[in-house]
Amino acid sequence: MDGFKHFTTMVNRVAARIPSPPAGQHNVYVALLEGMSGPGSYGVYVGMTGLDPQKRFANHKAGHKASRCVRDFGTAVLPAALHLRGIPYEDAKRIEAELHQELVRAGMTALGGH
């Protein structure tokens, strides 16, 4: 399995362990970071937003309220956290940090998760 496929499979497995909370208006998202530590390297940025995650990612890329790592190295929003969309603010805030910690524990380069 190539590095990218292995990496995204690991992200999906970790994210799937987090149960879906009740309905709300916020989203937890995972952005793929590519090349941050050199060619062929991968990482993720875990974020939370009241916007659609694709719109928030576009804002990062445009430099609007952007995380520098997403602006410079972000390539896509991964589907790993699809079940963590449309949730209450307090749950999204907690889960953002929890998912970040779980990805780090799994040995991945994970940023964000404030």
- Whole-model pTM: value is 0.90
Percent of the chain with pLDDT over 90: 69
β-strands 42-49, 110-112: how paired?
parallel
Binning pLDDT at 50, 70 and 90, where does residue 70 land?
very high
Lookup result for tokens 């390539």: 75
The proportion of the chain whose per-residue pLDDT surpasses 70, expressed as a percent, equals 99
Q: Does 80 score more than 70 pLDDT?
A: yes
Residue 14 sits at the vertex; the CA angle it makes with 8 and 19, to the nearest 5 degrees, is: 130
Q: Which distant-in-sequence residues (6+ apart) come within 8 Å of 12 by Cβ?
A: 78, 79, 80
Phi-psi region of 40 (alpha: psi -120 to 50; beta: other; left: phi over 0): left
Give residue 1's pLDDT.
52
DSSP tag of 25: S
Across residues 99-114, what is the average pLDDT?
Answer: 93
Cα separation values, 107 from 19, 76, 89, Å: 21, 21, 28
